[in-house]
Amino acid sequence: MVRWSGYKQVSDNQLRFSFASGDKRCYGSRVVVEETSTTIDVATISGTLPDAPDMCTTIARQATVLVTTSQPIAGRQVRQLANVKVH
């Protein structure tokens, strides 16, 4: 799991999160989202792709991911989601 560094609301139901990741050929990402009527908790998870090359460069890049919420954001608090089970 990697902490996201920021987010921007891009529509009534979408947030774009920024986080550090590695080479696109080697690393993928996904999100876990938990919503309530007052909060949107988001965890960004990065890991090695199953078909990644044997040799990956150790470059860092700023990655983004788009999250679509089930209900309009409408002033809900956006927070880091902690204690996510990664499997």
- Residue 29 CB: number of other CB atoms within 10 A? 18
Report pTM: 0.88
Domain boundaries, the chain: 6-80
How many angstroms separate the CA atoms of 42 and 48, rounded? 20
Q: 39-71 pLDDT, tens per residue?
A: 999 999 988 899 899 888 888 889 999 999 999
pLDDT category at 87 given cuts 50, 70, 90 is low
What is the predicted pLDDT for the residue at 85? 75
**CA separation, residue 33 to residues 16, 23, 55, 57 (Å):** 13, 24, 32, 30
